[in-house]
Amino acid sequence: MVSEDRTTTVSEDGTTSPAEFGTVDASADPGGLIRFLDAANTVSGLRAAKDALMEQLELGRARAALDVGCGAGGDVAEMAHLMPDGTPVSGVDASERMIAEARRRTASLGMRVSLRIGDAADLPYDDREFDACRAATVLQHVPDPARVVGEMARVTRPGGRVGVLEFDQETLFLDHPDPDTTRIILDTFAAAMVQGHIGRQLPRLMRAAGLTDVSVTPRVILGKAPFLRTLLCDHVARLQGRGVLTEQHASRWWTGLETQAQGADLAGGVIVFVVTASRPS
């Protein structure tokens, strides 16, 4: 992930905001960010979307594959299991802490896994080095997503597959007993992200990078109260700091969210886009 100077907060339950992924190594709690990744991977809708991305990359035929913004390495390990025995899998991330954790988690896979620190906008790999290249929830954090997609296309061999999974934060929805405050929070959430509308842009970015056979698979990800709190805590705190919401107003809104969840009436989520394409021969 490419570094981006962003200040964030820690939620009341001790989890950190996903907005901090632009500056993992400078975070007050990088371990909390790793725990957030692990928790997000248990959300069934997101897990299904990641499975769809893996399937569309055709990893069973890949001789080499790359995970851009590999984080703690869980997806790198999964890619290795889906690929033919002995084929190399690479991962790159801008965070030293993430790469260290990824190395620990993939140690049992030995020399077939190669992990390195690097910039997604200037990938440290040769042209046409991989049969498959993927990035998941990375472009929302980078200042120039078109350049990252272009780099992914560059390092992919002719006939190879490129795939990206991204949220489109403007599609975030939530049934809450205070609809007016909810509208304020959700309407400003996407604008507060580095790339809050990136999901819908992926097909255009793929084609602009010279990729063909673009496939678009949108999926609705439903989230429970703890996940929604982690997702929104930093943004609500920012709205308080700007005077858009008072502390009392925000507290009542969080209480309403928990009350709705306890009654099993909470409905909230966001659309994630899985977009894959081929590099022409």
Rounded to the nearest 10 degrees, the angle between the axes of helix 225-241 and helix 179-192 is 80
User: Which domain covers residue 80, as residue numbers?
Assistant: 18-168+194-220+274-278
- Per-residue model confidence (pLDDT) at position 31: 62
The answer to whether position 28 is within a domain reads yes
> Nearest to residue 57, comparing CAs of 90, 82, 40?
82
The answer to whether position 229 is within a domain reads no
CB atoms within 10 A of CB 242: 9
Q: How many domains does the chain have?
A: 1
Phi, psi of 271 (to 5 degrees): -90, 135
Judged against a pLDDT cut of 60, whether residue 276 lies above it is answered with: yes
Judged against a pLDDT cut of 50, whether residue 21 lies above it is answered with: no
Measured CA distances, 47 to 136, 224, 272, 281 (Å): 11, 15, 11, 31
How does residue 256 score in pLDDT terms, banded at 50, 70 and 90?
very high
Cβ atoms of 140 and 166 within 8 Å: the answer is yes
- Per-residue model confidence (pLDDT) at position 32: 63
The answer to whether position 177 is within a domain reads no
How does residue 223 score in pLDDT terms, banded at 50, 70 and 90?
confident
Q: What is the pTM of this model?
A: 0.84
- Per-residue model confidence (pLDDT) at position 7: 26
CATH value at residue 23? 3.40.50.150
Parallel, antiparallel, or unpaired for β 130-136 and 156-174?
parallel
274 versus 46: the higher-pLDDT residue is 274
11 versus 108: the higher-pLDDT residue is 108
The answer to whether position 98 is within a domain reads yes
The answer to whether position 62 is within a domain reads yes
How does residue 224 score in pLDDT terms, banded at 50, 70 and 90?
confident
**What percent of the chain has a predicted confidence (pLDDT) above 90?**
74
User: Among 7-21, 22-36, 183-197, 230-244, which stretch is predicted with the lowest mean pLDDT?
Assistant: 7-21
The answer to whether position 105 is within a domain reads yes
Q: For residues 112-126, give the mean pLDDT.
A: 97
Cβ atoms of 72 and 34 within 8 Å: the answer is yes
d(CA 221, CA 45): 5
d(CA 218, CA 77): 25
How does residue 230 score in pLDDT terms, banded at 50, 70 and 90?
confident
d(CA 254, CA 276): 37
Given its phi and psi angles, is residue 3 left (phi above 0), alpha (psi -120 to 50 degrees) or beta?
beta
